[in-house]
Amino acid sequence: MAHAISTRSLTKRFGRREVLHGVDFMVETGSIFGMIGPNGAGKTTTMRCLLDIIRPTDGEVRVLGKDPREGGPALRRRIGYLPGELFLEGRVTGRKLLAHYQAISGPVAPGRIDGLAERLGLDLDRHTRKLSKGNKQKLGLIQAFMHDPELLVLDEPTSGLDPLVQQEFHAMMREAQHKGQTIFLSSHVLSEVQQTADTVAILRDGRIVAVESVSGLREGAVRRLRLTASAITAHDAGALLGSVPGVGHVEVLDSGDGGVTVAATLEGSIQPLVRMLGSLQLTDLVLDEPDLEESVLKMYSSPVGDAS
């Protein structure tokens, strides 16, 4: 099976309000697929359709080769789900709550729950309603991961987690991927997704505006560049830089005895730039990490259907 998830013209209306206007995407088996978009774009609605919590008005959904509506409990046992807003009330300990979810999901390996709790630093013997938001989130992650499902559907998984735990969670995702599990996660910020995901879909107002590999996004993204070179005039440095494809916004910051300092932006491949730099006598060079956030924000703000 090539695709763990596929949707075709997935449409959802709540009364007269259409939330999803024909969403198409595919998630390859064994990949990590991130869906990003602002709040209200339809990420949660899409995920709930995959779990048969809400039913599409129109279109086709296939999860692990089955229609979620037909797949029933047997299909859902093969999925681990973390809802976007996790409510865990009641006077039960984390351990008892997990035992309950264990009884209604796929088989859990012995020691698996304690292992996950230890990794995330969660005390399972505390009452769930006394847990902080971050600790509740950990409990939610454990119940999603504990039965090593073929597919993980995680809605805003890192919300409430501190940076160290986020790192641990990223490691858990990579391990899951190594074991052949597929992960579909959502976020409203790219930075949470870009470290782990292979592919990113951008959802805006109930439509997919772009599906990009993270490496593709990186290539299309804008980097900031600053260099200092000696034995060259400011004018020549500017002209040389300006001749490199992808370079723009050239600006001379300083020119004096110490050399010329120039700032610019670079879009696309860095190879032509590197070749040009060889001809300069560089004393300093800074090439920033690509700002994917910025390129994604551009997609958000461009009109629908024009994702460039």
Give residues in contact with another protein (CB under 8 A): 14, 48, 51-55, 72-74, 76-77, 79, 81, 83, 85-92, 99-106, 108, 140, 143
Number of H helices, E strands in the chain: 11, 13
Minimum distance from CB of 113 to another protein (Å)?
Answer: 11
Minimum distance from CB of 72 to another protein (Å)?
Answer: 6
Minimum distance from CB of 84 to another protein (Å)?
Answer: 9
215 in Cβ contact with 221 (< 8 Å)? no
By residue count, the chain amounts to: 308
| Residue 29 tokens, joined | 């088996």
Minimum distance from CB of 213 to another protein (Å)?
Answer: 29
- Of 16 and 178, the one with the shorter C-beta distance to another protein is 16
Q: Region of 86 please: left (phi>0), alpha (psi -120 to 50) or beta.
A: beta
11 in Cβ contact with 28 (< 8 Å)? no
H-type alpha helices, the chain: 43-50, 68-76, 94-103, 112-120, 133-145, 163-178, 190-194, 214-220, 234-242, 271-277, 292-301
Q: Region of 121 please: left (phi>0), alpha (psi -120 to 50) or beta.
A: left
Question: Can you state the percent helix, strand and coil of the chain, rounding each to 5?
Answer: 35, 35, 35
Minimum distance from CB of 69 to another protein (Å)?
Answer: 11
Amino acid in position 151: L
Q: What is the DSSP string of 61-82?
A: EEETTB-HHHHHHHHHTTEEEE
- Of 54 and 234, the one with the shorter C-beta distance to another protein is 54
- Of 81 and 169, the one with the shorter C-beta distance to another protein is 81
Minimum distance from CB of 51 to another protein (Å)?
Answer: 5
Minimum distance from CB of 7 to another protein (Å)?
Answer: 17
59 in Cβ contact with 207 (< 8 Å)? no
Minimum distance from CB of 140 to another protein (Å)?
Answer: 8
CA–CA separation, 114 and 123 (whole Å): 9
- Of 138 and 223, the one with the shorter C-beta distance to another protein is 138
- Of 140 and 157, the one with the shorter C-beta distance to another protein is 140
- Of 99 and 252, the one with the shorter C-beta distance to another protein is 99
DSSP label at residue 145:
H
- Of 102 and 255, the one with the shorter C-beta distance to another protein is 102
- Of 55 and 179, the one with the shorter C-beta distance to another protein is 55
